[in-house]
Amino acid sequence: MESKNKILFLIVGIIIGALTMFLGTELFNGESPEVFDDTHATTIIENEQSNKEEGHGEERVTLSENEIKELGIVTEKVGSKRLKQYKDLTGEIVPNPDKLVHVVPRFAGIVRKVNIEIGDKVKKDEVIAIIESNESLVTYDVKSSIDGVILDLHMTPGELMGDHEHVVTIADLRYVWAELNVYQKDLMEIKINQKANIYFDTIESGVTTKIFYLSPTLDEVTRTATARARLNNKDGYWKPGMFISAHVLTKSVEVKRAVTLNAIQNYEGEKVVFVKEGKSFKPQSVTIGKVNEKYAEILTGLKKGDIYISEGAFVIKSELLKESFGGGHNH
């Protein structure tokens, strides 16, 4: 009897133990529970803090000098930079209205002769047409009042012209205006005397000038203000009606630490810059401030003088990603 009781107690103990292990496994997501004392907690917190301070722990990519050259990797030192910030606008070329004239006949009559065509250049006081007056039947000359180019022409020989008809448009195009559209959101940034690079194909072929006018009101339809800049056009490069773009310098700020935009990579959910440490490169978490087209201000994560990858950082990022999948360079 005593032997049977022992066996029964043993079976019950085994069942209770199995149930305890099963319930424990479910509570800890399939892992056996561990004893978690204060010492262990302190160690984990210290390790986590250490990893945060070091950026991304022990992740490294080591490359030889030859590999660096072959991969097109360029390094620079973190240093101060003057960040120039720009605003892009669009617009068109227009004649200077102070150098644009509309010629009308003094007396109504019949056009006897026209000496010019659209696109011709004329000099001041040059005869552009001859008209016979209806009243006196005497011919008189229609002359240009400025040096310029014929933009518009509405007269042909034998045609009857009134004495208030606008028949010829002449413009001096040696200097033209870039008329730019400024949207409401950009009004606080665009100001008179700011430098503007005006171009129509590529920014590299642009011409630098200054904004000399900003309209005090907005267009009722487009809700834009108008900014104007003068352009030297003695070679005839700029054509009225040409659509253009403007790259306007709005701000210039000195920052203590800056890196190239190409240096900043998204890695493991953070923005990182790859910094040289010994013969290796490691990802360093950073926070960025002001940005322009080429550089970004670094607020935290790097110090002045750190050597970082300014071009080709994506190569190092690829190596680390490859390593995480079991291949690639050694750390």
Which residue ranges make up each domain of the chain?
2-49, 60-94+176-331, 97-171
Q: What average pLDDT is seen over the chain?
A: 83
**Contact yes or no for 257/80 (Cβ under 8 A):** yes
DSSP string, 79-135: EEEEEEEEEEEEEEEEE-GGGEEEE--SS-EEEEEE---TT-EE-TT-EEEEEEETT
- Tokens representing 211 are 């904004």
pLDDT at site 38 = 33
- Measured CA to CA, the distance from residue 120 to residue 147 in angstroms comes to 11
pLDDT at site 59 = 79
pLDDT at site 323 = 65
**Helix residue ranges, H only, the chain:** 2-27, 38-54, 65-70, 313-324
Q: How many Å from the N-terminal Cα to the C-terminal Cα in the chain?
A: 68
Q: What is the mean pLDDT of residues 314-318?
A: 86
Question: Looking at per-residue confidence, does 44 or 268 come out higher?
Answer: 268
Residue 88 CB contacts under 8 Å (≥ 6 apart), including other chains: 245, 246, 247, 248
Percent of the chain with pLDDT over 90: 65
Q: Do domains 60-94+176-331 and 97-171 have the same CATH topology?
A: no
pLDDT at site 152 = 94
- Measured CA to CA, the distance from residue 68 to residue 44 in angstroms comes to 37
pLDDT at site 331 = 44
Burial of 181 (0-12, 13-18, 19+ CB in 10 A): middle
Of 10-19, 220-229, 235-244, least confident by mean pLDDT is: 10-19
Of 10-24, 134-148, 275-289, least confident by mean pLDDT is: 10-24
CATH classification (class only), 60-94+176-331: mainly beta
Percent of the chain with pLDDT over 70: 80
Of 39-53, 154-168, 218-232, least confident by mean pLDDT is: 39-53
Domain 97-171 = CATH 3.30.1490.190: no
User: Is the confidence at residue 18, as pLDDT, over 50?
Assistant: no
- Measured CA to CA, the distance from residue 154 to residue 160 in angstroms comes to 11
User: Is the confidence at residue 2, as pLDDT, over 90?
Assistant: no
User: Is the confidence at residue 247, as pLDDT, over 50?
Assistant: yes
- What pTM, to 2 d.p., does this model score? 0.67
pLDDT at site 56 = 54
